[in-house]
A and B are shown apart, each in its own frame.
Chain A
Amino acid sequence: MVTAIVVFFAGLAQAKQLAVVVDKENQTDNVSTAELANILNGKTKTWADGKPIKIIMRDPSSRDAELVFRRLLNTTPDQVRTFMQEHPGLIVLAGSDAEVLRLTSVVRGAIGFVDLYSLTKDVKIIKIDRRLPFDVDYLLKGGD
């Protein structure tokens, strides 16, 4: 008896897990939530070695970007739009996760946010508060 592939969805969709990635030469292995929030709101502009930070992410109206802003800056999607208008040039926008990964791998000092399951060996994943995406209390999980 052939049936539909519903069996594979017994667990339904898992919440989105976003990875924070940097170029492979970056010496940073971990950032705190507060440090990451300060990077995202533009207060922290350089890494410890003095390299300028470049933030790379998907369109701020994407669910992934909403998740990043909600968790780090406690902002709603409407507030994100205002934030972007007030901070032109702070964030480099990429059209896809593949582009986030490509730009992060080639721009020194870049920091990107991507779907964990798009991750490649071209970039380095960093921890948030010593946690990786598979840890229970990892910060960047969710999405309705």
Chain B
Amino acid sequence: MGKTAFIGRLKTSALLIVVAVDLLSGVTAHASGPAFPLTTKSPEARGLADEAVNLFFERLETPAAVAKLHKAVAADGQFAMAHQLLSIVTMDTAEQIAEQQKAFATRQFAGPAEQAVIQWHQDSADRKSIDAITGMNEVLRQYPQDKLVVYLCVWWLFSQSQLDRALAVLDQSGILDSPGMLNAKAYTQAHLRQYDKAVETIAKYAASLPNEPNSQDSYGEMLRFAGRFDESIQHYQAALKIDPSFYPSQFGIADSFSLKGDQAQARREYAAGFEKFHPAEQDEVRFRVREATTYVRESDWQGADRAFQAIADREHARQSSQLEADIYRQIALYQPDAKQGLRFLDKANAVLANAKTAIRRDIQHEDANILRARVQLEARLHDKVSAMANLDRLRQMAQTSNDSVIERFYHGASGVLLYAEGDYNQAIAHLEQDTGNLFSLQLLVYAYEKSGDLTSARRAYATLAACNETSVEHALVVLPFRKCHQAGSCEAGSQRLF
């Protein structure tokens, strides 16, 4: 492995070194074709950037990658691509914005290809989305097999929730020797609900990193998505054998038991996880929600209320308003009495109104998600006036925010109301834009059926029936959906549609 300085030129009294990216291994290697340059006057900064890219994209070690990039920009403050990478890699929203600005401000010290990458991300930040798309595709056309460029494209497409296109870029790159890309591909396939393909891909990833707990953990997760719960548990156990402190696998075991239908064992596994480990705060909330969801799967509403309320109280004490509000939203969804559900949504709104520490975008998303739930519950209560008023609010939010997440909530809520009114074709047009939500996907199955499109109904049915997710929505929608279809007595209206 070696780095070769192949071009040197003088610029404002400093020697700029463009270091070739012709490494034998590491992420900046390329399968064939031209290599993407990284321009810096500091060989040290270049080395740090290479390490950061490898840590982030190949090994998914975000904090370590951020630390390397901090050092890189300290070594060369005019290293525009290091600023750009830091903007992409950091989890700190303020730093994302600041580093994007620095990348743009220092772009004159970079070469044309780097400038094109920076311009594309700047256009994205400025919401010039079509310019950003064409900019990305132009860079990709010039460097179709360069690992860094492919990664940048895929990560940006992830940030836009464009998984179909991300998968196409990964496939077209022809890069087969990158563990990070295999991992990314498997998760993309899983989230596109192509579970068998995801298992096939993750098997290759696991084979490429046989001694890494994350590879076994990811393998377990893909098998869980595919409904192969016993095998999933075996791979989670393998991850823990490699690294007994790798706590996601302990909770993965619990998830698999829960989805398999053994809620008592699932709860024992969650409890063991909380006893042995101290997960990071956001992880802990996710795992506790999953633990609470075991009661929803058993239709034990009182047990669910107790478990979810305990989480809400914990988040209240932590002043995590958005998370607390979201817990109340989830409680609202499973309430057998929709009026009681609306009272929990009132609580969620009250918590959100007093949010002091949450990021504004997170509050907007939660606010929109609560509105979506309101429309859903009001539709269940046949309260059309309230539902229409809340849909109007959601529509205004969608039109003014230019935010795809809020837009999805709007389409989901519109689909509910149109379905309730019997306008199935219009309902389909909206529900098709919110298929990540399992309530919407279920309604879509019935809307297709009622509109006479049985081919699409069968396809959506197969997608829904094959879902194995850990969410409350899954517990409320997929399990009853499977049951009634297996019994052969399933008709729209026999389940909780809204």
Contact = CB atoms under 8 A, between A and B. Distances in A.
Do chains A and B interact in one complex?
Answer: yes
Interface of A: 1-6, 8-9, 11-16, 66-67, 70-71, 74, 76-78, 97, 115-121, 125, 132-134, 136, 141-144
Given A14-B161, A117-B162, A125-B130, A1 B60 contact: no
Given A1-B248, A3-B60, A136-B410, 9 more contacts: A1-B280, A3-B214, A5-B187, A67-B432, A74-B425, A77-B453, A134-B402, A142-B432, A144-B444
Contacts of A116: 130, 133
Nearest to A12: B436
B137 A118 contact: yes
Interface in B212-237: 212-214, 217-218, 221
B456 A2 contact: no
18 contacts: A1-B246, A3-B248, A5-B187, A8-B159, A11-B404, A13-B435, A15-B434, A15-B435, A76-B451, A76-B455, A97-B168, A117-B165, A119-B134, A120-B141, A134-B402, A136-B395, A136-B399, A142-B429
A108 B463 CA distance: 41
The 6 closest A-B pairs by CB, nearest first: A12-B436, A142-B432, A14-B161, A15-B433, A117-B165, A76-B453
Interface of B: 59-61, 129-130, 133-134, 137-138, 141, 155, 157-165, 168, 183-184, 187, 191-192, 212-214, 217-218, 221, 246-248, 280, 283, 395, 398-399, 402, 404-405, 407-408, 410-411, 425, 428-429, 432-436, 441, 444, 451-456, 459-460, 463
Contacts of A132: 130
A134 B123 CA distance: 14
Contact of B161 (A11, A70, A77, A142): A11
Contacts of B214: 2-4
Given A77-B455, A117-B133, A13 B161 contact: yes
A31 B309 CA distance: 53
Given A117-B165, A120-B134, A4 B221 contact: yes
A9 B187 contact: yes
Contacts of B280: 1
Nearest to B59: A2
Contacts of A70: 428
B66 to A, nearest CB: 14
B193 to A, nearest CB: 9
A74 B429 CA distance: 10
A144 B164 contact: no
A8 to B, nearest CB: 4
Contacts of A143: 432, 435
Contacts of A74: 425
Contacts of A97: 168
B183 A5 contact: yes
Residue of A1, A121, A125, A141 most packed against chain B (CB within 10 A): A1
A105 to B, nearest CB: 13
A133 B130 CA distance: 9
A130 B137 CA distance: 25
A120 B138 contact: yes
A97 B137 CA distance: 12
A3 B279 CA distance: 12
B217 A134 contact: no
A99 B82 CA distance: 35
Given A13-B163, A120-B134, A144-B444, A4 B429 contact: no
Given A117-B157, A134-B402, A144-B441, A14 B162 contact: yes
Given A4-B221, A13-B436, A76 B452 contact: yes
A4 B133 contact: no
B130 A11 contact: no
Contacts of B407: 136
A12 B133 contact: no
A20 to B, nearest CB: 13
A26 B133 CA distance: 21
A118 B168 CA distance: 10
A68 to B, nearest CB: 13
A14 B163 CA distance: 8
Contacts of A118: 137, 165, 168
